[in-house]
Copies of this chain bind each other. A is one copy, B any other.
Amino acid sequence: MSPKITTELLKQLRQVMKSPKYVQEPVQAYIVPSGDAHQSEYIAPCDCRRAFISGFDGSAGTAIVTDQHAAMWTDGRYFLQAAHQMDNNWTLMKMGLKDTPTQEDWLVSVLPEGSKVGVDPFIIPADQWKRMSKALRSAGHDLVPVKENLIDTIWTDCPQRPCKPLITLDLSYTGVSWKDKIAALRSKMAERKVLWFVVTALDEVAWLFNLRGSDVEYNPVFFAYAVIGMNTIRLFIDGDRMTDPAVREHLQLDSTLEPEFKIQVIPYGSILSELQAVGAGLSPKDKVWLSDKASYAVTEAIPKAYQYLTPYTPICIAKAVKNASETEGMRRAHIKDAVALCELFNWLEKEVPKGTVTEIIAADKAEEFRSQQKDFVELSFATISSTGPNGAIIHYKPVPETNRTLSVNEIYLLDSGAQYKDGTTDVTRTMHFGTPSAYEKECFTCVLKGHIAVSAAIFPNGTKGHLLDSFARSALWDCGLDYLHGTGHGVGSFLNVHEGPCGISYKTFADEPLEAGMIVSDEPGYYEDGSFGIRIENVVLVIPAETKYNFKNRGSLTFEPLTLVPIQTKMIDVNLLTQKERNWVDNYHQKCREVVGAELERQGRHETLQWLIRETEPLLRAQ
């Protein structure tokens, strides 16, 4: 992986930063955030502006270019990748390390007095705008919105914004109709006394209308906004997608409907002018509800006095708690996904010793097996197929320049998942196809102990996920080991593989309390730079727990693994496990054997069924 040469691009960007054609006054710095106008984590090619200007294409990062400097902020998952992908024009700012300045502090330290810092107001979330603007102002600088995106002005071969057909989801998948979802949203709006709700996150629009799309790779969403009033529904969406008869019928566009469920379809680009019209029609005390992560442009379209901003929208919270149809769908998706992975691992065991399987071949094979399963739509993120030292690059994606061949001498880490019409999967397994060293087994076993500590944790109702993060680290900490990423994220139901408002992380963020029906990942790891990476990840469902004293009827919760893929016992040093941990592994494997075994049998995959039975032997027999 050679770095992108950015000297010429930066020169061009610095020119347009001074050009009266694009900026009212010259800007001394220009911020290029990761996101799109919806603050999506995964973005369409036309929105990959930060990757275009810097070369660094990880999922998180913010670039800032000044007249003299170019700097990139990213987190621990991407330190290695960013360092590899960027040339010497760029300074890597390692977020989470003590000595790394914040973007604001760094800007203040490098800018000449009274500078203007520009940013595209559609791309920066309102809460970040506010923080950044305040910090800059207090140091005598100004954050200014630059209407025309300056990267787009120098990006001559920028791809078109996608506009792909939609998928409609019926009640058997969603459990609740879009009309009932809108009614529930309106009752939340009435509780808070707000008149309008602006849906800006793409997955929230998709969830609300029980529609899916494929405008963005891996996330089954489509470019749209929605504005919900107490008696009106406005959907901002482009293209001929609304002429599709299935979509028209699903949204009842041609039916005689109660007026409050009649959907007005409006072009995507009209959002600002329509919001400004809404704002102009408001009376004192009227409120418009927006996520505080909505773009500055959308937020500012509503006069400040009318804004009602919350970190999580009621849609985000309702979407996180899966109903019975969604939970059953997630179970089905995970069983099919396990079949595909068992096929893959059985195949790898036979093929790796031949020396012909590369990381890319293994990833492609995983996709091939998944695509054979019912209701498969696409992958849920770029497969992390990594062996040996590549495994230590936490969000590695194999490309021809880095592609290693799997061997019996190195650890192989596969973090992958898929979108099925009934659910989203995300699973990591770490395998050795030869004989792991004692040190590799020790590290793997510490990670496994952390995985089990979270998965088997019992905690009172109302507990926030971040309080469970240290459970995942305790065994590693005892040995002086740690990992620089959170332990888990929310997972959507045939939606984004990363979703809020809950998670398990040492980072103090405003996570919502865990409740039964929420789905998160449990994925501790350990990474030895230059040698190997280990991660064990299941997707788990929050379920009620039974305890002896039940917290005086406050109730308690625990997790049930939805992922049912064997954990390689060859990598486990059983002596390091307590009896309780051994029982957890054996029970988990027993369940994999029963549930996935039955599906393998049904699908006639007999050889892989034998592999599964072998891989799910009780621990003391397996050793």
Contacts and interface: CB of A to CB of B under 8 A. Distances in A.
A474 B462 contact: no
Contacts of A474: 457, 471
Interface string A471-493: 10110011111100000000000
B556 A480 contact: yes
A350 interface: no
Interface stretch (A63-71, A168-176, A182-190, A547-555): A547-555
Interface in A442-482: 457-460, 462, 466-471, 473-474, 477-482
A479 B98 contact: no
Nearest to A511: B508
A268 interface: no
Interface centre among A459, A462, A474, A549 (most CB of B within 10 A): A549
- With most chain B CB atoms within 10 A of its CB, the pick from A471, A550, A551 is A551
Given A477-B556, A508-B508, A556-B477, A482 B470 contact: no
Contact of A547 (B457, B468, B480): B480
A15 to B, nearest CB: 32
A513 B75 CA distance: 19
Contacts of A459: 470, 473, 477
Interface in A537-568: 547-551, 554, 556
A506 interface: yes
Contact-size category for A? 20 to 34
A518 to B, nearest CB: 16
A481 B553 CA distance: 10
Contact of A98 (B462, B471, B480, B550): B462
Interface in A60-106: 98
Interface in A282-316: 285
Contacts of A98: 462
**Number of this chain's copies in the complex:** 2
B460 A478 contact: no
Nearest to A513: B98
Contacts of A549: 479-481
Contact of A551 (B457, B466, B482): B482
B479 A460 contact: no
A473 B285 CA distance: 45
Contacts of A471: 470, 474
A436 B460 CA distance: 27
A480 B478 CA distance: 26
A116 B578 CA distance: 62
B480 A548 contact: yes
A399 to B, nearest CB: 28
Given A467-B469, A471-B474, A548 B479 contact: yes
Contact of A460 (B140, B285, B477, B578): B477
Nearest to A479: B548
A468 B467 contact: no
Nearest to A545: B480
A477 B457 contact: yes
Interface string A489-509: 000000000000000001010
B470 A458 contact: no
15 contacts: A98-B462, A457-B474, A458-B477, A459-B470, A460-B477, A467-B506, A468-B470, A470-B470, A471-B474, A478-B547, A480-B551, A481-B549, A481-B551, A482-B551, A482-B554
| Minimum-distance CB pairs A-B, first 7 | A480-B547, A480-B549, A480-B550, A467-B470, A479-B548, A480-B551, A458-B477
Given A467-B470, A468-B470, 11 more contacts: A458-B477, A459-B473, A460-B477, A460-B480, A466-B508, A467-B469, A478-B547, A479-B549, A480-B549, A480-B551, A578-B578
